[in-house]
Amino acid sequence: MAGREMKILDTDYIVVGSGIAGLMSALHLSRHGRVLVVTKKERAESNTNYAQGGIACAVAAEDSFEAHVRDTLEAGAGLCDGEVVRAVVSAGPAAIAELERLGIVFAGRAASAGGGYDLGKEGGHSRRRVLHAGDITGRHVETVLLERAHAEPNIGILEHTMVIDLITTGWLGGPDPNRCVGAYVLDRISGEIAAVRAPYMVLASGGGGKVYLYTSNPDIATGDGVAIAWRAGVPIKNMEFIQFHPTCLYHPRAKSFLISEAVRGEGAKLADAAGRSFAERYDPRGALAPRDVVARAIDSEMKATGAPCMFLDIRHKSERFLRERFPTIYATCLRYGFDMARDLIPVVPAAHYFCGGVAAGVDGRTALEGLYVCGETACTGLHGANRLASNSLLEAVVCARAMAERLGGERPPREFNAPAIPDWECGRAVTSDEAVVVEHNWNEVRTCMWDYVGIVRSDKRLERARRRLGNLREEIRQYYLDYLVTADILELRNIAAVGELIVRSAARRKESRGLHFTLDHPGLAPGPARDTVIEDRPWHQS
């Protein structure tokens, strides 16, 4: 930045992330002021875009809010916040109606004379209640919301831009109370660092599946929002609960392509290479047990037999049905040599969804004034120790509205007294000639997390992970200080930070609950279930 004044972008609301949580937040907030959406890749690249299953909502006559609440609480293994569950579930029909007003069409809606839906059933649900758009629900939702955001004059979208750290009045040396006033950002293409400034900021940057070696998530899912909030001193909750999706396509070129849970909802069985069903030995619900149970069952079978994968068997369904219900999955499997109507489909578990995150209310409010979170970045208490399938998109839509309603009643942005933002200090940092170190550390963090902090854990494995991540984070910190900032080092810095949060949280939980299963503490701890909360002092730019 030497010899040049740093650019500062001013707006009323900053939204980080362009998935369903970010775009719904932006659309709602645009009624109150100017919104700048910051996204680190192309605007359509998000976890939402890859969501196949759909949105869970009690809309059928034979369903009820009570049944949906009960299923959510059961999947959450005693750690859900009951009030939050009821608030989100009961707001579901209004959320669906809102999406439809925006132009989203769910399967069965347009063709049904009675106005009903073609509802899917997924693991942990006692009823068919998953609204979908075939097997590309997320892509359909993302496309429609982007069109709406593009047409809204109050919304600007800043692509290929990555947040480095939050800017707070506490860090600037201002008076109490401490509040978020913006962030430093990196243009991934030019390498220029700028600041964005606003009275309100929403982190909706998704999850962190890339912390693990095998994941269903796209490359952008590096836990940025959680890491950024943690560095600013915001409490982080329940990071030990990582949902491993049981069925990702096992093929060296498939890049962990997800086989939707809806396939099991339509009758697919879990089987070994000989076609023998095994899930029923682990749970009477078989392949439709909650994801933590199914993932552990597959993991157990693979370890017991030495097999590199297990299989999905839906050969009892016709080719016509499979092509119509799962066109994308069918075509993708066929491209890799598997005909769903005739072949077993090889699958393995992979890191999929974070039930923990930045501690927040349904309205997104955090402990740091001016900072809100929405979607997978947030931990509202809805999911508890294990997310019920397809509750995530529902949470994003409901919470985005609640957050915008709260902010609509806050101090108007025009009354915001914008503080001076100092130029980004590069110090003696130089251009790196050791980029290979970033790649090596990236692989080492992810391998360490997969080997020691995966589906089945132990005290010894967690201690090994703690030591290794501690050494790696010190190397990464020094690299970050010595060299000019790049997107690669920022993502590495974030996955290492998130990895440490997962390990610390897992080590504190001396029991097996939901998605956290440990060999040393196989049962539930006595007494009421407790959240794991990590709250550290702010440590910006280190």
79 three-class SS: coil
- Is the same domain home to 230 and 180? yes
What pLDDT band is residue 540 in, cutting at 50, 70 and 90? Answer: low
Task: Assign residue 325 the CATH number of its domain.
Answer: 3.90.700.10
Does residue 235 share a domain with residue 148?
Answer: yes
Query: pLDDT tens digit string along 228-250?
Result: 999 999 999 999 999 998 999 99
Q: Are residues 440 and 401 in the same domain?
A: no
Q: Tell me how far the alpha carbon of residue 251 is from its chain's centroid.
A: 24
Instruction: Return the higher-pLDDT residue of 112 and 537.
Output: 537
Establish if 307 belongs to a structural domain. Answer: yes
pLDDT at position 51 is 53
Indicate if the pLDDT at residue 421 is higher than 80: yes
Residues 6 or more apart whose CB falls under 8 angstroms from that of 417 comprise: none
Tokens 């997924």 belong to: 122
User: Quick one: which of 112, 101, 109 has its CA closest to 133?
Assistant: 109
* The pairing of beta strand 180-187 with beta strand 193-197: antiparallel
Do 489 and 455 share a structural domain?
A: yes
Is pLDDT of 533 > 90? yes
pLDDT above 60 for 495 = yes
Q: Are residues 236 and 362 in the same domain?
A: yes
Looking at the fold, whether 37 and 152 belong to one and the same domain comes out as yes
Q: pTM score > 0.85 for this model?
A: yes
Does 230 lie in the same domain as 151?
yes
- Is the domain of 37 the same as that of 151? yes
Q: Which residues contact 460 (CB under 8 A, 6 or more apart)?
A: none
Q: Is the pLDDT of residue 2 over 70?
A: no
- Whether residue 309 is found in the same domain as residue 323: yes
CATH of the domain at 489: 1.20.58.100
Q: How far apart are CA 142 and CA 533, in angstroms?
A: 32
Q: Is the per-residue pLDDT at 53 higher than 90?
A: no
Higher pLDDT, 109 or 84: 84
The reply to whether 195 and 220 lie within a common domain is yes
Active site residues: 291
d(C-alpha 68, C-alpha 314), whole Å: 27
User: Are 233 and 153 within one domain?
Assistant: yes
Instruction: Name the percent of the chain lying above pLDDT 70.
Output: 95
CATH of the domain at 166: 3.50.50.60
Q: What is the mean pLDDT of the chain?
A: 91
Partners of 202 in beta bridges: 15, 372
Does 209 lie in the same domain as 257? no
pLDDT tens digit string along 323-338? 999 998 999 999 999 9
The parent domain of residue 504 ranges over: 435-524
Is 34 in a helix, a strand, or coil? coil
